[in-house]
């Protein structure tokens, strides 16, 4: 196996990186892949909470790096889904406990035994971000349809270009079709106009995500969630499948599409 | 000038580097460090080196020239009050005064041939002499491009990106970031873009903030220039012949 290392990052905090990582991990594992998610947010770990694996942490990323345990020992296996693992961050340390080359070494070891390695990047453009992108074969930029998030994403894309990484792809998270229609929120087209990278997913705002996040049950695990469905679609696109999604021309009809999708109202 | 100091500032046609008093080697090291740090912004630039009364031989000047060349810059003029230093510079085909008037050094002697030629060339036109920067691809948020000459971007300039040019700025794309043309005071500098919607536009000492709100028109190429103390943007007309 030669696993693909995919880093999910955004520049700005609070746009949904951790939730997206958890959901994409779940969705890829549902497709039968072996997936390892890595929380690179050392000192502010959250991915374990969102995935509902907090109480099973014994060792973490920093323990592996500092040689207190083997990589395998630190990987937590998700009991709900076969093939899904979490490598948690340390909570009592900070970003300087990890170096970009540590991340490369860990991912190289994981590559041989998994299909996907998903790295949840911390916010910012400093050490934590550098650690998260160092081993990445691919980068997914997560952005919200608002100017500050788009601005920060643009900065991140510039930094990736300077690093000569392959062009990243884009997920627009937490879009509210009604607000776009009224011109109160940036439309997908506006976001793409600035960022100029390939779109691989549009995730609508969904209360289910908040509820499921608090319960440690990623939305992609449950069926009735629009966001969960969006993440499942993205997982299939990552795997190379052509999955139709709301094309930009049909954006005005996004609300109608959603109504049809949930079959209500 | 204090001891052991260097200063770097932009002038119309290049960079002015002033060497303070003190040992030469540490000053040159310090200059090399500064250039290596900020080197990308200066690349392709020409340097006027102001050395005061310091005596510098051919070897020393060559050494500095080589160091500048490693940083992508050329030693253009050596400004000195010391005749032997001037002689050494001339021996290396390096000018000893800046083109244009008002740049003669106090106490400087009358220039022989090379200096005069340089002066004449400088007067004829500065445009061909100015170093420029060409950027291919979008300038994204956080990128900053500086040049003492003109800047041309083939691609968009996104909000959060910044361009500082001594001369003109041309954007073959959407200009949505911050641009300062004529940054060293040239009021004749212009800014052209296929779509001119900058966050802020500066020409020489003038600043303009374009009106916000959605634009109803189809975007057209525009050129902005300073006129009567303010910045005016006009849609590009094919008849324009470059008069200022």
Distance CA B199, CA B211 (A): 10
Chain B residue numbers with beta carbons less than 8 Å from the beta carbon of A148 are: none
- The residue written with tokens 């502010």 in the block is A44
Distance CA B241, CA A91 (A): 65
Per the CB < 8 Å rule, is A154 touching B159?
Answer: yes
Q: What is the pLDDT at residue A262?
A: 54
Residues 6+ apart with CB under 8 A from A194: A150, A154, B158, B159, B176
Distance CA A237, CA B10 (A): 51
Q: What is the pLDDT at residue A89?
A: 97
* Domains in chain B: boundaries: 6-124, 133-235
Apex B79 CA angle, B89 and B115, nearest 5: 60
Q: What is the pLDDT at residue A222?
A: 84
A155 reaches B (C-beta below 8 A): yes
Residue B28 · residue B55 · CB < 8 Å: no
Q: What is the pLDDT at residue A119?
A: 98
Apex B198 CA angle, B196 and B201, nearest 5: 105
Smallest CA-to-CA distance from B188 within B2, B10, B24, B12 is with B12
Chain B residue numbers with beta carbons less than 8 Å from the beta carbon of A151 are: 141, 159-160
Helix B58-70, helix B83-91: angle, nearest 10? 60
Question: Which of A141, A158, A163, A197 to substitute to test the interface with B, most B CBs within 10 Å?
Answer: A158
Q: What is the pLDDT of residues B50-64, one digit of tens each?
A: 888 888 888 888 888
Q: Containing H/E element for A111?
A: helix A100-111
Question: Which of A147, A151, A162, A187 to substitute to test the interface with B, most B CBs within 10 Å?
Answer: A151
Name the H helices within chain B: 24-42, 58-70, 83-91, 113-124
Per the CB < 8 Å rule, is A151 touching B141?
Answer: yes
* Domains in chain A: boundaries: 4-262
Pairing verdict, β A76-77 and A84-87: antiparallel
- The residue written with tokens 């993205």 in the block is A234
Per the CB < 8 Å rule, is A196 touching B156?
Answer: yes
ipTM associated with this complex: 0.79
Residue A42 · residue A93 · CB < 8 Å: yes
Per the CB < 8 Å rule, is A151 touching B143?
Answer: no
Q: What is the pLDDT at residue B216?
A: 64
B133-235 to CATH, choices 3.40.50.1580, 2.160.20.70, 3.30.565.10, 3.40.50.1950: 2.160.20.70
What CATH topology corresponds to B6-124?
Alpha-Beta Plaits (3.30.70)
A4-262 to CATH, choices 3.30.420.10, 3.40.50.300, 3.30.470.10, 3.40.50.80: 3.40.50.300
Dihedral of the alpha carbons of A52, A53, A55, A58, in degrees to the nearest 10: -170
Distance CA B122, CA B91 (A): 20
**How far does B156 lie from chain A, in Å, by closest CA?**
9
| Residue B82 in tokens | 């010391």
Q: What is the pLDDT at residue A174?
A: 94
Distance CA A122, CA B128 (A): 48
Question: CA dist A133 to A102, A103, A148, Å?
Answer: 12, 9, 21
- The pTM of this model reads 0.69
Q: What is the pLDDT at residue B84?
A: 86
Share of chain B above pLDDT 70, in %: 77
**What average pLDDT values come out for chain B (244 residues) when binned by 10 residues?**
68 78 84 74 78 86 86 84 86 78 36 35 43 91 93 96 96 96 93 95 92 72 93 81 53
Q: What is the pLDDT of residues B186-229, one digit of tens each?
A: 999 999 999 999 999 999 999 998 876 666 678 889 999 999 98
Q: Is B105 helix (H, G, I), strand (E, B) or coil?
A: coil
Mark the ranges of chain A whose per-residue pLDDT is less than 50: 247-253, 259, 263-265
Distance CA A199, CA A257 (A): 19
Distance CA B84, CA B93 (A): 14
Terminal Cα-to-Cα distance of chain A (whole angstroms): 46
Apex B114 CA angle, B109 and B119, nearest 5: 80
**How far does A142 lie from chain B, in Å, by closest CA?**
16
Chain A residue numbers with beta carbons less than 8 Å from the beta carbon of B160 are: 151, 154-155
Per the CB < 8 Å rule, is B158 touching A154?
Answer: yes
Chain B residue numbers with beta carbons less than 8 Å from the beta carbon of A154 are: 140-142, 158-160
Radius of gyration of chain A from its Cα atoms, rounded to whole angstroms: 18
Pairing verdict, β B46-52 and B14-19: parallel
Question: Residue A250 has what DSSP assignment?
Answer: G
A161 reaches B (C-beta below 8 A): yes
């Amino acid at each position: 196996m030669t696993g693909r290392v995919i880093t999910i990052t955004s520049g700005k905090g609070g746009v949904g990186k951790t939730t997206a990582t958890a959901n994409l991990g779940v969705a890829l594992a549902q497709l039968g892949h072996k997936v390892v998610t890595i929380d690179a947010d050392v000192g502010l770990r959250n991915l374990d909470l969102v995935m509902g694996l907090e109480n099973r942490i014994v060792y973490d990323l920093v323990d592996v790096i500092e040689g207190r345990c083997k990589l395998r020992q630190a990987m937590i296996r998700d009991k709900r889904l076969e093939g899904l693992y979490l490598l948690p961050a340390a909570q009592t340390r900070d970003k300087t406990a990890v170096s970009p080359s540590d991340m490369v070494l860990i991912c190289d070891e994981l590559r041989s035994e998994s299909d996907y390695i998903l790295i949840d990047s911390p916010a910012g453009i400093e050490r934590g971000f550098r650690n998260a992108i160092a081993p990445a074969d691919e980068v997914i930029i997560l952005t919200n349809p608002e100017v500050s998030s788009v601005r920060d994403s643009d900065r991140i894309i510039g930094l990736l270009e300077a690093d000569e990484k392959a062009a990243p792809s884009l997920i627009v998270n937490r879009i509210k079709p009604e607000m776009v229609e009224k011109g109160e929120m940036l439309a997908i087209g506006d976001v793409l106009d600035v960022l100029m990278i390939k779109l691989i997913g549009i995730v609508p705002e969904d209360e289910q995500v908040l509820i499921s996040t608090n319960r440690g049950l990623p939305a992609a695990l449950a069926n009735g969630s629009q966001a969960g469905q969006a993440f499942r679609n993205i997982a299939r696109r990552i795997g190379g499948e052509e999955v139709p999604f709301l094309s930009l021309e049909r954006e005005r009809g996004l609300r109608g599409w959603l109504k049809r999708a949930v079959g209500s109202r | 000038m204090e001891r052991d100091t260097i200063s770097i500032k932009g002038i119309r046609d290049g960079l002015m580097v002033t060497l303070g008093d003190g040992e030469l080697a540490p000053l040159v090291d310090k200059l090399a460090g500064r250039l290596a740090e900020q080197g990308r912004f200066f690349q392709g630039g020409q340097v006027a080196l102001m050395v005061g009364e310091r005596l510098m031989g051919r070897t020393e000047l060559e050494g500095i020239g080589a160091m500048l060349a490693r940083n992508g810059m050329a030693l253009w003029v050596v400004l000195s009050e010391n005749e032997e230093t001037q002689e050494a510079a001339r021996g290396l085909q390096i000018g000893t005064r800046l083109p244009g008037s008002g740049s003669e050094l106090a106490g400087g002697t009358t220039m022989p041939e090379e200096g005069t030629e340089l002066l004449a060339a400088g007067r004829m036109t500065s445009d061909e002499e100015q170093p420029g920067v060409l950027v291919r691809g979008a300038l994204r948020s956080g990128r900053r491009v500086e040049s003492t000459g003109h800047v041309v971007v083939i691609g968009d300039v996104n909000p959060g990106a910044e361009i500082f040019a001594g001369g003109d700025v041309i954007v073959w794309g959407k200009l949505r970031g911050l641009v300062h043309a004529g940054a060293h005071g040239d009021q004749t500098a212009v800014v052209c873009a296929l779509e001119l919607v900058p966050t802020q536009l500066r020409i020489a000492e003038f600043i303009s903030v374009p009106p916000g709100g959605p634009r109803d028109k189809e975007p057209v190429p525009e050129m902005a220039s300073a006129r009567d103390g303010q910045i005016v943007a006009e849609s590009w007309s094919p008849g324009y012949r470059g008069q200022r």
